[in-house]
Amino acid sequence: MKNNEHIENGAGCTCCAQEHGHSHAGGDKKHLTRIITGTAIFAIAIILSRLFGVSEYVSLAVFAVSYLTLGGDVIITALKNIVRGRVFDENFLMGVATIGAFIIGEYPEGVAVMLFYQVGMFFQERAVQKSKKSIADLMDIRPDYANLQTEAGLVSVHPDTVNVGDIIVVKAGERIPLDGVVIEGEAHIDTSALTGESAPRRASFSDTVLSGSVNQNGLLTIEVARTYGESTGSKILGLVESAAEKKAPTEKFITKFAKYYTPVVVALAALIAVVPPLAAGGIWADWIYRGLVFLVISCPCALVISIPLSFFAGIGAASRNGILIKGGNYLEALSALEVVVFDKTGTLTKGVLKVTSAIPAEGFTQKGLMEAAALAEVFSNHPIALSIIREYNGEAGNIRLSGYREIAGAGVSVIANGKSILAGNVKLMSGAGICVPEQHVGGTQVYVAIDGAYAGCIVISDEIKEDSKNAISALKSKGVKKTVMLTGDNEKTAASVASALDIDEVYSGLLPQEKVEKVENLSSQKKKSGKLAFVGDGINDAPVLAISDVGVAMGGLGSDAAIEAADVVLMTDEPSKLVKAVDIARYTKRIIKQNLVFILGVKGIFLLLGALGIATMWTAVFADVGVAVLAVLNSMRVMSIH
Residue type, 115: L
CA distances to 38, 43, 71 from 59, in Å: 15, 12, 18
The angle, 0 to 180 degrees and rounded to 10, between the axes of the packed helices 25-50 and 56-83 is 150
For 87-203, where are the alpha helices, taking DSSP H only? 90-103, 107-138, 192-195
Residue 11's nearest CA partner among 75, 69, 91 is 91
The full DSSP string for 9-48 is -TTS-B--TGGGT--SHHHHHHHHHHHHHHHHHHHHHHHH
Cα–Cα distance list, 17 to 4, 88, 442, 620 (Å):
10, 19, 61, 22
> Beta strand pairing status for 220-224 and 167-170?
antiparallel
The residues annotated with a catalytic role in the active site are 343
Pairing, β 337-343 against β 482-486: parallel
User: Which letter does DSSP use for residue 148 in this model?
Assistant: E
> Quick one: which of 157, 178, 539, 88 has its CA closest to 343?
539
Do residues 447 and 454 lie in contact, with contact meaning Cβ atoms separated by under 8 Å? yes
Q: What is the DSSP letter of 394?
A: -
Torsion of CA 397, 403, 407, 410, to 10 degrees: -40
C-beta atoms surrounding 556 within 10 Å? 31
Pairing status of strand 411-416 against strand 401-407: antiparallel
Sequence-distant contacts of 94-101: CB under 8 A, at least 24 apart: 94/296, 94/299, 95/71, 96/292, 96/295, 97/292, 97/293, 97/295, 97/296, 97/617, 97/620, 98/67, 98/71, 99/75, 100/288, 100/291, 100/292, 100/295, 101/289, 101/292, 101/617
- How far are the Cα atoms of 21, 115, 207 from residue 74, in angstroms, in the given order? 10, 11, 56
Cα 533 to Cα 530, 570, 581, 583: the distances in Å are 10, 13, 12, 15
- Side-chain-side CA neighbours of 227 within 13 Å: the count stands at 5
Residue 486, helix vs strand vs coil: strand
| 114 contacts 94 by C-beta, under 8 angstroms | yes
Whole-angstrom distance, CA of residue 272 vs CA of residue 280: 12
Contact 334, 585 (CB under 8 A): yes
